[in-house]
Structure 1
């Protein structure tokens, strides 16, 4: 077999392959003989059909099968012979059978060969944060708010109070679909309604009626209401003010703290959880900053086959999330609603980053630090009721441990990058850190 290789691009190679006729003839004759043993033709006993008849009736089909199989086998032999690091399936073109033999072209994408530019040129911001006593107090207050109840009041409705009311809306004097409801409950200030609606209820008391004027936003989901002025007749039925639970034995017990251990133990546990959250968040932010810097400083061409595979992985991940949210209905979800273009940008970025980080790993000769894996597992286990059981689980489940090893190896890559790059430290408050997290989630 003769193979000539040419470079089409940084991630593609074209192979011109010539397979000698003798290989085709040899396999053709062997298959023809096997067929002769099994073929049934009227007037002949099994195995007694003349070869001339077999060749005439079945020869063309068998020869085509042989050619197809030889192309399939020889293209991978050629890839291996030329020591090509192929990605995805080769594309076969220009197949011809002539005096030279079986000739065809095969275009195959290859794993990109990259050089990561000097890490010393990278500029990375590293944020630090500490949990203050005020942050702990705020968190405990939030825990109380999450478990608040409501107490009926005869006073005026104010922000953060819950109101129950009937409403009926009109546009140009006409009622519209979805514009009315009875016994509707709303926490004022929650932002659930269109601008001006909740403000119009503030100051009302139970039993009062009021007509408020509002304007639907220009981007409102119902096109027929976009930008329209509307009136809503409000009949307020009930006003309730929030009632926070006392930090008593019952409240402490919700968080595994006994009355004897008291509030100080609750604060200590809350601080510990917050500090763990801060550590994980800052580690993720730093990892993201380091990887972004590497990606922005290195332009890399990646094979479409790798991008396509990553798109499939991300689509499957989204379908699994849908299945969890909607009770396992993944198989019934219309996948046409998740076209490739929805994932392409992120998939290309992930593939490029994977190639670059893989090169950093290779150049630095990094391998998984098992001591760091052990420490990571132990730290993770502390957030569970029975840490020992969790540690045993991660150590015995190969797949789970492999996932942790991958995270630890990424952390090692980040440490390697930071050791060389220009790093600027920046202190950020816990509250600002939380706001950044919320903004990032909202932007996904």
Structure 2
């Protein structure tokens, strides 16, 4: 077998392979000889068909099969001989395999980049640190109160923060548009959930009143046929309600699962829950800082084929998420995977760097570490033991946890190598930034 390789561009290689006819012919003859013992042909007893007849009948078909198999096997022999590591699937062309002339082809593929890890001693990683104060707990309690608030009917003009129940009919150019009418719709004034001007137009309204609202649909409105168009909504106000926050008392504590109703115990449980969430987000922020450091210290070229595969994976994940939220298939068509190019390139590049770190430092994941991580993930749930069983019952889910543990080990390794500077941040800053992301 003769092999030659040329570099075409970047990580792309074009390899030409020539296989002697003897290898093809020998494999074809061996297979045909085996067939003489099993093949059935009219006029011959089973196992008594002459080799010449079998070759005449099946020779072309068998050669095609052998060529396909030799193509695959010689490709991997050739890349091993040339000490190349293909990334992605090769493209075969210039295939020639006429009888008596052997086999020749070219394979175009990308290879994994050679990575020489940069020293990290001069690299700086900012580690966010914070503590939960009493004021943070107070704000969390207020958030929980709002999540558990009730509504009570009032006999006054509607103001911001109120909830208005109304019937409506929307028209564009004097015609009611599809989906433009309804009854008993709840609108929370000041929430910003309606199109601009709709909520403001209900301020000052009273129950039983009819109001006409003149608004304009945003230019980027999801229904293209209405985007940017002026519309008129005729509304009838059924009722106005104001929010009523629950008192912070024993009943409130019991509703949050504190059976004793003790407010100090409630605050301690809230603090514990906040601390778990904070620890997770601090770890995520620190991991992001470590990954950014690795990318900056190790600028490498990632194979395009791997990036494109990652783009398709990210697109598929997004489509599944949107479909689970009720989006119709026709609304999801035409999305270009290239919109994930930057994210995909970052993920592939980090994957290559982290793999090199794992290999160079012989990092291994222990079963104990995986078990501990599963238990950590399950801890916030009402029945953590069921969550642990759910993970342990599926190999794919456990593999995902193993990947997380590997990432943690890489993060720890980087933190041991680099200079770590603690950066004080507030609890709200951590929570708000993470929610925004």
**Shared fold (TM-score greater than 0.5)?**
yes
Q: Deviations over 1:252-298 (max 9, x none)?
A: 22322123x51111111001111111111111012112212322443
Q: Distance in 2 between matches of 1:96 and 1:370?
A: 51
Q: Does 1:76 align with 2:76?
A: yes
Which runs of no fewer than 5 residues in structure 1 stay unpaired? Answer: none
SS of 1:136 mapped into structure 2: helix
Q: Distance in 2 between matches of 1:272 and 1:159?
A: 34
Corresponding position of 1:293? 293
Corresponding position of 1:132? 133
Cα 1:77–1:245 shift into 2, 3 Å: same
Q: 1:139-288 maps to which residues of 2 (within 5 A)? A: 139-171=140-172, 175-259=176-260, 261-288=261-288
Deviation at 1:144, TM superposition (A): 1.9
Q: Deviations over 1:5-42 (max 9, x none)?
A: 44445534444333333222222222333344455555
Corresponding position of 1:104? 105
Corresponding position of 1:302? 302
What is the aligned length? 436
Deviation at 1:397, TM superposition (A): 7.3
Q: 1:254-403 maps to which residues of 2 (within 5 A)? A: 254-259=255-260, 261-318=261-318, 320-321=320-321, 325=325, 339-368=336-365, 376=373, 379-385=376-382, 402-403=399-400
Corresponding position of 1:60? 60
Which runs of no fewer than 5 residues in structure 2 stay unpaired? Answer: none
* 8 Å Cα contact 2:160-2:190 kept in structure 1: yes
Cα 1:213–1:319 shift into 2, 3 Å: closer
TM-score of the superposed pair, with normalisation by structure 2: 0.84
Corresponding position of 2:403? 406
Q: Distance in 1 between matches of 2:173 and 2:60?
A: 78
SS of 1:197 mapped into structure 2: coil
* 8 Å Cα contact 2:281-2:431 kept in structure 1: no
Q: 1:87-102 maps to which residues of 2 (within 5 A)? A: 87-97=87-97, 101-102=102-103
Cα 1:334–1:69 shift into 2, 3 Å: farther
Q: Which moved more, 1:60-69 or 1:347-356?
A: 60-69
Corresponding position of 2:423? 426
Q: Does 1:86 align with 2:103?
A: no
Cα 1:34–1:229 shift into 2, 3 Å: closer
Q: Which moved more, 1:295-304 or 1:384-393?
A: 384-393
SS of 1:112 mapped into structure 2: coil
Deviation at 1:420, TM superposition (A): 4.0
CA RMSD of aligned residues (A): 3.6
Deviation at 1:299, TM superposition (A): 2.9
Q: Which moved more, 1:404-413 or 1:154-163?
A: 404-413
Cα 1:12–1:217 shift into 2, 3 Å: closer
